[in-house]
Amino acid sequence: MGTAKTFTLLAIMTGLFVGIGYMVGGSVGMIIAFAVAAGMNVFAWWNSDKIVLRMQGAQEVPLDTRNPMLRAFREDVARLAERAGLPEPKVYVIDTPQPNAFATGRDPNNAAVAATTGLLSVLTREEVAGVMAHELAHVQNRDTLTMTVTATLAGAIGMLANFAMFFGPRDSEGRPNPIAGIAIMILAPLAAGLVQMAISRSREYVADKRGAEICGNPLWLASALEKIERGARAQVNPYAERTPAMAHMYISNPLNGRGVDNFFSTHPSTANRVEALRRLAGEMGVTSIRAAEPAPRRAAGPWG
């Protein structure tokens, strides 16, 4: 994602935050909201990745883990990072049966990738490698900072919009205006969601392509995306459901449609992504999920 577009999108999110502050508290509210937004942008630059990982229940996989599946997972991420020319990221796991994954961090030197236990259990080792290559592509393209800061601001906009229902705006006589409050409560998160959609949809195809190049076989990721979509529909990710503003960070929409927060999808169609990956496989001369680059190093355990 280009630097100009990134700053434009973040400026829009900040403007939404300041605008809601004005509607809630007038000029004073706008000044306070601007100060808060500026502080949040600075804070999010340094800490948003830690916030996201904590809110999604992610636990770091230690270097000396005795779990064979997690040890192999760490090894494969390190191997893929080396292939991509990236520093080895921190590796996290989220204890939920829904298969999914995301990356975060302000730059490649401070990056982290996270996968759910469902992803590691349901997908083959090659498919997990395809997913992790996609996430490393986000790190390499420096999407992760924009995604993470946007998630933080979108969550804040939603909270401020809820405050508007009770504390403002007011009519010309200074009385609370509940109709305007309800409108803000509905429209502000909707506008923030549209910005998230613009960010997510524009970056997923690029990361799919680069991820396929990193792992060497586009069909690994294509097969993984199909399994992830089926799993997301069948399983609930409680961490994502509690913080829907962060849904766009995952490789596939983690909201399974049980709530209104999934009204607008932050991700492009899985079928379209799979079709694009299969076309890329044809261009690369890959005809089988076992073809092209050799599979990651085998190890004893669930992927043995």
Q: What is the mean pLDDT of the chain?
A: 79
pLDDT at 236 over 60: yes
- Tell me the three state secondary structure of residue 134: helix
Instruction: Sketch the domain layout of the chain as residue ranges.
Output: 3-284
- DSSP H or E segment with residue 14: helix 3-55
For the chain, counts of helices (H) and of strands (E): 9, 4
Which residues lie closer than 8 Å to 275 by C-beta, 6 or more apart? none
pLDDT tens track for 116-169: 999 999 999 999 999 999 999 999 998 877 776 666 666 666 666 666 655 555
Cis peptide before 169 (omega within 30 of 0): yes
Choice among 5-14, 82-91, 111-120, 211-220 with the minimum mean pLDDT = 5-14
Other Cβ atoms less than 10 A from the Cβ of 232: the count is: 24
DSSP H stretches of helix in 247-290: 270-284
Sheet holding 58-60, edge to edge: 58-60, 90-94, 112-116, 101-104
Residues labelled catalytic: 135
**Global confidence as pTM:** 0.76
pLDDT at 189 over 90: no
Gap between the Cα atoms of 157 and 78, Å rounded: 36
Angle at 300 between CA 298 and CA 304, to 5 degrees: 55
pLDDT at 88 over 50: yes
Q: What is the largest CA-CA distance in the chain?
A: 73
Spatial CA neighbour of 229 closest among 271, 199, 201: 271
Q: Answer whether 116's CB lies under 8 Å from 96's CB.
A: yes
- The position carrying tokens 């975060």 is 104
Gap between the Cα atoms of 247 and 239, Å rounded: 10
